[in-house]
Amino acid sequence: MASTSRKQRFHGRVEGHEQSCTHPGCAEPGEFRAPGEIRPGFDGPGEWRWLCLDHVREFNARYNWFDVMTADEISAAQTPYGGWDRETRAFASNGADRPPRWADFADPLDAIGARFRASRQEERKDGRPLSESDRRNLRILGLGVDVDRRALRTRYAELLRRYHPDRNGGDRGHEKALSQVIEAYTALKSRPAFA
């Protein structure tokens, strides 16, 4: 029970670490990780030292992140957008949903908004709702979302002539496309958006 309350009480404690505190002359177990002399960077993850609770508190009290930076680097890090000018692994994707390039935006909230604006479906100008099946049927007919009933009928007649075997010298190679066009038009012509 005592180890459970100790674990919950101090954030960052590494339970079961066998190394002793690296502070000179301390025999306590080193349960807290602190940055060493070598910082993480291009050459690797950096160096860590293990400290006991008292020494990690002392380390945190005098730790200065800006200590090894130049004046220009400190100024860049202290801007309101410091760190947002480069992509990090946290925002990387494996090809699924590509996020926007953070470097293209001055404000990080603009970048986040652009990602969700791009995924939002296009709406009709007249405000009439379209279901996902309506959108799929419009794609089959090769039409945009703002099409009216007359344009829908015109496109249907055009595709009917293109795919019908009587217009293709008896070639039945377009039967599947023809049946998809007929189904799409039949479903769309009765929808309220095209009334």
Distance CA(108)–CA(80), nearest Å, equals 10
pLDDT at 184: 92
Q: What angle do CA 93, 96, 102 make, to 5 degrees?
A: 40
pLDDT at 99: 62
The CATH code for residues 132-194 is 1.10.287.110
pLDDT at 6: 47
Segments of the chain with pLDDT less than 70: 1-10, 16-17, 42, 82-100, 115-121
| Domain parsing of the chain, residue ranges | 2-63, 71-118, 132-194
pLDDT at 5: 47
pLDDT at 144: 86
pLDDT at 90: 57
